[in-house]
Structure 1
């Protein structure tokens, strides 16, 4: 078996979709799952489908998505930045692909090999985001790895990463000594801060002690 020619080398990135137009073609459960991962990105989400699920209707009523109650036509996606063809009709998904321009990003749920990108499995704990992908080789293995990471990086990381965010922001603004700055940024990632019930006060004490040594 020769796999070398089949290998796809993906370039992992995090997209800023705030204010960007994202179109989902299809209104079923697959579209519902894809949209759930887009809701907190600030994207302008439009669903094109003659029918949508009850969950998507709720999102529409909450004005979190826009619904175009129609079958797909090529002119629908002219203004789109990112497009997901999520119907269960291969001919429609293929028509979406033909309508896309080279500057648009397309995901075809039934044909990832012919898409511009794939979506990794995502685990979130607040600002902490961990993505897992086997580049389509084994979605089952991806799920297993995600479960293992979920056990390793539990809910305690949500508040901890918020703490790191605010501390880093303060350190970069207030500490001008480069060596002290680096030392503080390193110290706050130690396990003692992760499991502390009083990490903010401990951080202040650490800053005072290290500054006094300068």
Structure 2
């Protein structure tokens, strides 16, 4: 598997199926910012129906048709019928879509990892279909290790990086500065991240040689 992060805004994504698996796929796509999710199924879970009522997804409440695969960037075959899922996958490949087949990692063009989101920080874990349980366990460990404070930390680091790019000319100094900042940011309290003061303090650590190898 080759890990990538996909930008899904404006892309057509088709999910065939309306059960628990389709619901899980749909929620993950919406969380990632997808705004072109089309779901094909005569029956939906209550949660999927609510999303359809809200306009978050487009639903065709009918059985799958071959033409449904047309124009899809991603296609999820998530029905409870193995032969139908294979037919959907074949149609998707012919249409140029990347296909994911429920419970068939070897026949899929891509896999969905277990994901931990902390704002712009995205941690993904996959056992390449060998053990979803292992991926889920490691996901739980990551959730404990990287708490909600990392959402604010990433925003601080984004602002500091933009500021450093504007005022720190030496690329080596800038690299070291941002490395030190990455160690500090998760532990800072609100109000402690005024950019210029933070930047000045980090530059002082570098120029005076206070860094002791522990990122403190």
How would you bin the TM-score normalised by the shorter chain?
A: 0.7 to 0.9
Please tell me whether the aligned partners of residues 17 and 41 of structure 2 are also in contact (alpha carbons under 8 angstroms).
Answer: yes
Partner of 1:83: 75
Whether the 8 Å CA contact 1:26–1:86 is kept in 2: the answer is yes
The one-character-per-residue Cα deviations of 1:142-167 (angstroms, maximum 9, x if unpaired) are 11111111111111111111111121
Instruction: Say if 1:47 and 1:66, in contact at 8 Å, map to a contact too.
Output: yes
Q: Which of 179, 186, 192 matches 1:194? A: 186
Contact 1:19 1:42 in 2 (8 A): yes
How far has the Cα of 1:119 moved from its partner? Answer: 0.7
| Superimposed CA distance per residue, residues 75-97 of structure 1 (whole angstroms, 9 cap, x where no aligned partner) | 11111110000000112111101
Residue 69 (str. 1) matches residue 61 (str. 2): yes
The structural deviation recorded for 1:170 is 2.0
Matches within 5 A, 1:5-24: 10-24=1-15
Return the match for 1:46 from 38, 42, 65. Answer: 38
TM-score (ref. length: structure 1)? 0.87
Structure 1 unaligned regions, length at least 5: 1-9
57-66 or 162-171, which deviates more: 162-171
Cα RMSD over matched residues?
A: 2.0
Q: Following the alignment from structure 1 to structure 2, what is the Cα–Cα distance between the partners of residues 15 and 124?
A: 15
Asked if structure 1 preserves the Cα contact closer than 8 Å seen for 2:160 and 2:199, the reply is no
- Cross-structure match for 2:163: 170
Aligned residues between the structures: 203
What secondary structure sits across from 2:49 in the alignment? helix
Is contact 2:121-2:154 (8 Å) kept? yes
Deviations for 1:114-141, whole angstroms, at most 9, x for unmatched residues? 1101111001111111111111111111
Moved over 3 A (4+): none
**Distance in 2 separating the partners of 1:167 and 1:78:** 44
Which residue in 1 is equivalent to 2:114?
121
Task: Say whether the 8 Å CA contact 1:18–1:43 is kept in structure 2.
Answer: yes
Other-structure match for 2:16: 25
**What are structure 2's unaligned runs of at least 5 residues?**
209-216
Separation of aligned partners in 1, 2:50 and 2:21: 16
